[in-house]
Structure formats: C-alpha cells, structure tokens
Amino acid sequence: MSIDKITSAYNFVPLQAKVVTPDWQDRTSQDVPLQDGLCAEIDLTLTNHTPLLVGGSDTEAGPKRFHCHPDGIPAIPGSSFRGMIRNVLEIASCASMKLIDDRALSLRDLDLDAYKQAFRSKPRAGWLSFCHDRKSWIILEVDYGFIEQRQIQRLGQAHDLIFAQWETASDDDKRKAELKYRAVGKPLKQRFMLDDDLMRTYKPCPKDKPGTVGYVVFTGQPGDMDKNPSEHKKNNKHREFVFLDSEKSTNGTLTVPAGVMQKFIQNHSDSSDWKYLLSPDSVLKNKGVPVFFLTEKNQQKASVSSLGLAMMYRIPGFYSLGELALKQQRRESKLDFVETLFGLIKQSDHEQSRRSRVSFGDLRLTGSNTKPWEAPSAFSQPTVLNGPKPSFYPNYIVQKERGGKLSGPATTLMDSSAKLRGWKRYPVHAPASVKGVPPPPEKSQASVQTQLQPLRAGLSFAGRVRLHNVTREELGAVLWALTWGGNSELRHSLGMGKPFGLGQVSVNITQLNVRSNDTPQLGNNEIRSYVQAFERWMEKNVPAWKSVLHELLAMANPAAPGVSQLRPLKLNMAGKSEFREAKQKKLALQPYSAIR
C-alpha cells in the first residue's frame, strides 16, 4: 500500500526562541523564607483512562511489570509523576530545552541530492588507528578498489564459509561485516591485479604474474547474499573492497580532528562492527580499522571532515541535538521558570546547583479498586517498542511544507540552517481505539520483542505534591500543569506504551492546603486564583502566550481530529520501507493541530 502523507505516533510542540526567566529566582531558596511566599500540599487522585504501565525496568529482561510497594500494592513512583508534570510545565512556561539526548546525528540517504553531492568526490580510504605519541587518531591512507564476491571464493573457499554463516544467522547479524570476518577467521592478504581498470575491480593474482599486495575489506550486507556469487541476483550486494598494502606518498598519515572523531564514535557507539574491528579478535588488528573518509581543503593540506565504515557512510550533521536547541533559543545566564522551581544539578563551572522546592510522592493504588487489576491479554502479547529516530528529517527538522508536502528542498542535518521541530510529545488516543498492542513485525527476533503487563483502565491512584517557599505564580504553574488549567477533557501521557495509546491519565485535585510565610493562618485555598496568577504572569512575559500552548493542548485532547492518524510508519511492508517512500515523495510531518 502506498502512502500519501506521514502518519506518526508522535509530534512536536514548536520550540520558543525566547526563554522566560523569573525575576524572583535570586531570592528563592529552601532556607530563607520568601516574602509573600507560600507552602502548600496538594492531595490528588490520578485516573487512567487506558491501560497503564509505570516503573517497568528498561534494562531487566523478561516482562515489564508495574512498580509495586513492598506490600504488593501497585504504585506510581513520584519520580515518574514528576517527570510527566515537569515536561508539561517546561513547554507551558517557555523553558529551555536542556534535558535531551545531546547526540551527534548522522545521515545516509541515497535519494537526497545534498547527500549525493557530498560524495561527488570519490571517498578516500585507509587504516585508522590511535597514535599514542600524537595522542590522536590517525589514518594511513591507501589506494583501494573493488573485488567481486566470486573472486573472493578463490581465496580458500572464503565465500562458501561466509554464506554458510550468513544462511543460519539472525536477520540482524546478516547485515554485519563482523559475520564475514569471523567466518573467514583470518586476514585475506593476497597479491592482486586489476581485473577491470575502468571499474577499479581487482582479482587474485596468479603466482607467475606480478601484482600488488592487499587485504580484502568487508562491509555490511544490507540485503540478501547469493549462494552462487557467479550468478548474483539483481540488487544483491556482490562486491567487497581491496585495500592495497602501499602507503600513498602524497599524504602519508592524516590526523583526524578531535571533533570529527568524537562524532564518528558517537554515531558508532552501538555498532558491533566498530567494536569488533577495535577488539583483539579482529583479523585486521595488526593493520587497524579500515575506514573511508572525505576531506576538505584546510589552508595548505587536506583535513579529514568525516569518516565511516562503508564507502557511502552516514555523514554527521553540522550540529548535535543540544547544539541545535541552544542555537534556536535566546537565553541569558539565568535559570528558567522550571529550573528555578524544580532545581538544577550543576552541569558546568558556569552553573550553580539549585535545590528543588517541589516534591512528588508516590501515587498508590486506592483500596476502592476491585480486582483483577491486570489489563486484558491483548495488551500483554509480545510487541516491539521501536524508538523514533531523530535522524528522520521529515519529522524532526523544521520543513517548508504545505499540507504535509514539501514546498522546497528538504532541510536536513547537513544544513547549517537546520532547526529542531521542538518538544516531542505522544498525542493521546481516543480511548475506544486502544484495544491492545500490535504484534511484532514478521521475522523480528525475540531479543527485540517486549512483553508489557499493564494494569487495566479505570483505576485510581492517590498521592500528594508538596511545595515549599514558592510564589503564587509557581504554585499556580504546578496546579495548571496538573489539571491543564482546569480543563477536565484533556489527558496526560504516562509510562510505557505511549505510541500504542497506553498511559492516558487525568489528575483531580481533592484538597489544597496553603500556608503563607508571613502569617500563621492558612492562605487562600482557591485553586483558580493561583492558576490565574500563573496565566497572567505568562501573558505578561510572552505575547500571545495562548498560541504557544496550541499544539500542546491539541495533543492532550483525545477528541482531536488527528487521533485517526497516529499509526507509525512501517520500516518494512512487503519488502518496502514507508520511511524511504516518504522521503522520495517529499512528504513532511504536519503540525498535529493541522492533521485531519
């Protein structure tokens, strides 16, 4: 089935350029009473409108079960509840985007003109190693060419050894160069001669003819492998590489700049091929790690600009996620609203740690809930939790689009003008549509499958939030975030399985107790008065503040038109990737409020 628009389980709230900083931040602490300050206790109940799973460990093997207190009663950890409310308040108060995975992202897209333009010059190749004398990574550049897999068969029946391993390997292992190296078990060092000068292909050299010594270098196998390499099928990879054992006299060794190497390591942190080639098990350990690289002219000599483990490798973007966020937001060297209230852990010499003035207790399942607590079996079948990839630029990068289609060239991580879409959120589903979790994709390995064991919908949890020495605006902000400003139709998303519609909850405040720092009497306990204090403060500091909330509130609405378009794109459907199709058709993710 062909797609004509991008559907997604997640969307974004635009990042605000101006970071709002409260003028009272220098006067707040846990120890010195704030003039006109308040202390408050908020008793509340949380109700889940779809099955809920909180506290299931992401690291432990086996089914993911709900967190329980020692007496066996399910409870929502205060830290999970705190994180949910904090994220809502970060968006609503125009805070800085700091608590993100600050990764250097990379891109490999053969359909993208900018990517193909980067490889307009032939990539160079060489052996990567760490030089202890220079205290840096270096590349010994060499000439290279291709070798057909049928020619590799002449080297000790190497192709047969590889195919035997490939045929019985998991789908994940089949794609790895490591499988090929381990199957052969030794470096394929040989004298080679040109087989086709135009195509730069080599073949093993007969003993009675001169040749050049070189090594066979394997890269991953993205698709099927031919059992008989002499009759390879269309679109099957059928060539590997030969690194000739002769240093190029023009450059010798090139030092890899520290920043370039840092991005390479970050982008390959999960690569088993990189780990293997670095390990003592590597059959090429005496030579180094075979890499391909591009250069840029830097004054009088070439400088390595990027490198990878394949000829057409993933090129890192100009900026990491954190650098993009920092570039988009204007902020002074002050704390934002959420940092002032929730506290700050020192991350650099330019920051000071700040203790939190708000605490979230555990929310415990109330005794009024009748058993069974477990959700129906349709929610506990094996499934796959695929995390969204920030490198998918039609979704994560701001695009010039109209109606979900690009109105110009795509903007990618390779563009210095790239901007993040903003705060990622999982829109809530219509509760009636949440009937179970999807089965795992065909041929998916058991190691990537997860079994969730959520609690059923309709349960209630009770807990308390405490605030100490806060302003009226800060108390109002927490009350606003808990109740969506008093809109009982909106929902929060909590716990695991959000892409499937799990974890949709609402919060009801059962009692508010407020005490003023200035008088021993109880303060005003009217929730709305504090919420209005926060709203007035935001409207004063952010013109058209209500419009800032538009996408956030739309994604909290289970009756929004976009709830019918929350199906994630499929990586493979009858051998076809909807992600690639979306890029080929120049589609882009629409703002959630515009989706129909």
Mean pLDDT by 10 residues, the chain (596 residues): 91 94 86 87 98 75 88 96 98 88 82 87 93 94 93 90 91 91 94 90 90 94 82 82 75 87 92 96 96 79 90 90 85 86 76 86 90 94 84 94 94 90 96 94 78 96 97 98 98 97 98 87 80 97 94 98 92 72 95 94
pLDDT value at residue 548:
93
DSSP states along 1-19: ---SS---S-EEEPPPSBP
Distance of alpha carbon 355 from alpha carbon 162, whole angstroms: 58
243-to-142, 214, 239, 542 alpha-carbon distances in Å? 7, 5, 13, 60
- DSSP 8-state assignment for residue 464: E
Q: Say if residue 574 is exposed, middle or buried (CB neighbours under 10 Å; 0-12, 13-18, 19+).
A: exposed
pLDDT value at residue 57:
57
Q: Tell me the one-letter amino acid at 40.
A: A
Q: Say if residue 386 is exposed, middle or buried (CB neighbours under 10 Å; 0-12, 13-18, 19+).
A: middle
pLDDT value at residue 573:
45
Pairing of strands 405-406, 11-13: unpaired
Host H or E run for residue 480: helix 472-483
Task: Judge contact between 106 and 314, C-beta under 8 A.
Answer: yes
| Total residue count of the chain as it appears in this document | 596
What's the mean pLDDT when you consider all of the chain?
90
3-state secondary structure 527-595: HHHHHHHHHHHHHHHCCCHHHHCHHHHHHCCCCCHHHHHCCCCCCCECCECHHHHHHHCCECCCCHHHC
Distance of alpha carbon 304 from alpha carbon 315, whole angstroms: 12
pLDDT value at residue 236:
83
pTM of the model: 0.87
Task: Judge contact between 529 and 80, C-beta under 8 A.
Answer: no
Distance of alpha carbon 596 from alpha carbon 587, whole angstroms: 16
For 250-274, write each residue's pLDDT tens digit: 457 899 999 999 999 989 988 999 9
Distance of alpha carbon 105 from alpha carbon 314, whole angstroms: 9
* 438 contact partners, CB below 8 Å, separation of at least 6: 383, 500
Q: Say if residue 197 is exposed, middle or buried (CB neighbours under 10 Å; 0-12, 13-18, 19+).
A: exposed
pLDDT value at residue 427:
98
pLDDT value at residue 502:
98
**What is the chain's Cα-based Rg?**
29
Backbone φ and ψ of 185, nearest 5°: 80, 0
